[in-house]
Amino acid sequence: MRRGFSLFLLPLMLAASPFTLNPLAAEPDGAIIDASGDKALTYPVAKRLDLIEDHFGVKVADPYRWLENDVRADPAVRDWVDSENALTRRYIDGLPGRAAIKERMQALFSHGRYTVPRKAGNRYFYGYNKGLQNQTPLYVRDGLDGKQRLILDPNDWAKDGASALAEWAPSPNGRYLAYAMQDAGSDWRSLRVLDVDGGKRMDDRVDWVKFSQIAWDGRGEGFFYSRFAAPAPGEAFQSSNEDQQLYYHRIGTAQDQDQLIYATPDRPALSHQAQVTSDGQWLVIQSFVGMDPRREIHVARLDGQPVNPRLLAKGPARDWRLIGSRGSTLYFITDDHAPHMRVVALDAERPRRGPREIVPERDETLAGGSLVGNRMILAYMAQAQTVAELVELDGRKVSDVPLPGYGTAAGFGGRDGDPETFFSFSGFVTPSSIYRFDTATLQSSLFAQPDLPFDPNDYGIEQRVYPSKDGTPIPITILRKKALADHATAAPTILYGYGGFNISLTPGYSATRMAWLEQGGVYAIANLRGGGEFGKAWHDAGRGQNKQNVFDDFIAAAEWLKANGFTPKDGLAIEGRSNGGLLVGAVVNQRPDLFAAALPAVGVMDMLRFDRFTAGRYWVDDYGSPAKAQDFSLLYGYSPYHNILSGRNYPAILVSTADTDDRVVPAHSFKYAAALQAADLGERPHLLRVESRAGHGMGKPIDKLIDEYADSYAFAAAFTGLTIRSRP
């Protein structure tokens, strides 16, 4: 089994009733002031439907339901989006400093970047981007010191650079490479196979793959993958994803000959993913319903006979994360009788024996693990930082894993009997370097290191804690030039948050964020409840009926930054993506007075219909279900689309989405932007930016990424008072 995990090394300094308002009550006045301050811009007209629905006795208006239609198929939606983009382009192109910050972002991307190598046979596969290549090509070396050879260059797949190399996996001996092609940022994948020896693509093609791993059998004759049925015409980017099935594809055959391995038509909400142990003996099938780590586990012996999965752990009820195997002994990280997680062994031949404890639960949360060679690498999330440890298979600790310093390590993939592993290490102001680690000798060596186009010593990283509304201490990390800190100078600030789905915000480098810091801006990252920084209890405190805690945490961060001299009175912008876009939309409605600008991107904005599209049904674990009366009341109370405060002065808002986002469909942003523009919210602009041939984020070409953030940060700078200079 070739898999890895991330080590989170961030030092962690890190219910009010929601607003329920008259939805979409105001008509627009239609005019805003453009960047020069002397020309009126008029929002495109968005027709309003007389559509009101009854939800548990509550009358809910949805006048912009028509914007849920596919922008590629509905001319009316397409024309409205084109008009919105034209308005936004005119406005942002008039902002001072937009060209300068784009130029600096390009310079900050202009250095070589490697991905963590994966070993197969005697070959090492890894990505390498020279700097400004839209997509990262894939290379191979025969032997660690072998000559680098290009085997896949996705930059040749589309003229606009919007086709990307997504998931990929070499066969166990390195002869073949199965890889996923992603077009225009969609979650849909097409799988192909490369003959690595000859460097030629084979005829194999597998379509309608989504949310899948690629798991080779031990003989390298084929691989397991997950797919959905082909959607009806016109429904590929909107229809709900249900009844996922697990298949086996044999190299050299057509997809219609693929073998169905596992499906649950009686439980269509279950999704299924495959892993194969590194010795090739066992197929492990993980089945789950939503985003919660609750899985049902089936196993099957891979001995050349028909694959016959049988139950190993009934569910979905507990978290079971496979980290390795020895013979029929499978090692898992689990929360079974252990809220902070423990390591157990299960016997694939005798599942009724139940789990045998290897590493017991302790106060710190066990965040991840990997079996490399004959030992395990485990990562614990503690109050101050995450510690990586090397552990024998009987649970005895060998040593801490030596790491280069403060930051985030990720990778640590491995295979049976081979002590060699690789990991990346990065920080807030340092791009990733790649290291090789030997679990037998405990020695690390540098594999690849980027050239830095700036001096990281010019920047300070400050960890603080602030109280939320209910007194809960919330960690926050503040990034800024040391000169600002030395002189206690308040400066225009972007506050970023996420707060959901058990996701931890940890140190990581961003070239676009560095451009903001270089200009003298402050960047703050709040570790809100709903994330994974403090384990299950922290996650639970920010989801479902506790979701308002997340908004309270973010609002308290904004107030604290101003009260403690980091941010001027009118100098705060907020930023969030996906669930973080929901966060931004909700807190703007609840406290519009706090913010000068807001940057909600690819956000979940209609909390009454999110579960009707593509992957939305998975999010019920965190949000609750709009179909349940108790959940409806809460969701309706904070839904950004339904709670816009007409008659109040709002911050400047740039809503960003993409036309091929089939994770959070762009209708969320379309409807929200139309509702903003229809309300009386003051003179500051409320604009919509829609990227073409792009999705939720993964696979976005570098040039589109730079353009998006140049627009966003020039917009934020204009309203927070940050002066952008060509040479900071």
Residues known to be catalytic: 578, 696
* CATH assignment of 31-106+454-720, among 3.30.830.10, 3.40.50.1820, 3.40.50.300, 3.40.50.2000: 3.40.50.1820
Give residue 1's pLDDT.
44
Residue partners of 381: CB distance under 8 A and separation at least 6: 8, 12, 364, 365, 366, 367, 504, 532, 533, 534, 535
Dmax over CA atoms of the chain, in Å, equals: 77
Which residues does residue 194 pair with via DSSP β-bridges, in sequence order?
A: 177, 201
The tens digit of pLDDT for each residue in 548-585 reads: 999 999 999 999 999 999 999 999 999 999 999 999 99
Q: Is the pTM here over 0.85, yes or no?
A: yes
Q: How far apart are CA 466 and CA 553, in angstroms?
A: 9
Angle at 233 between CA 230 and CA 239, to 5 degrees: 65
Sign of torsion, CA 194 195 197 200? negative
Q: Which residues of 598-618 are buried (b: 16+ CB within 10 A; e: fewer)?
A: bbbbbbbbbbbbbbbbbbbbb
Q: Which of 631, 669, 604 is closest to 64 using CA atoms? A: 669
For 387, 479, 543, 638, the CA distances from 556, given in Å and listed in that order, are: 29, 18, 18, 17
Pick out the chain residues at pLDDT < 70: 1-40, 382-386, 728
Q: Which two tokens stand for residue 590?
A: 């609840």
CA-CA distance, 692 to 602, in Å (whole number)? Answer: 13
Which ranges of 452-505 does DSSP label H, i.e. alpha helix? 482-486
- The DSSP result for 198-265, as a single string, is TTEEEEEEEEEE-S---EE-TTSSEEEEEE-PPPPTT-TTTS-----EEEEEETTS-GGGPEEEE--T
Per domain, the residue ranges of the chain are: 31-106+454-720
Q: Per residue in 123-169, pLDDT tens?
A: 999 999 999 999 999 999 999 999 999 999 999 999 999 999 999 99
- What DSSP element (H or E) covers 708? helix 702-720
Q: Is the dihedral of CA 73, 74, 75, 78 positive or negative?
A: negative
**Which one-letter DSSP state was computed for residue 418?**
B
pLDDT at 34: 54
How many other C-beta atoms lie within 10 A of the C-beta of residue 160? 13
Neighbouring CB atoms inside 10 A of 445's CB total 9
pLDDT value of residue 414? 87
Contact 490, 519 (CB under 8 A): no
pLDDT for position 382: 67
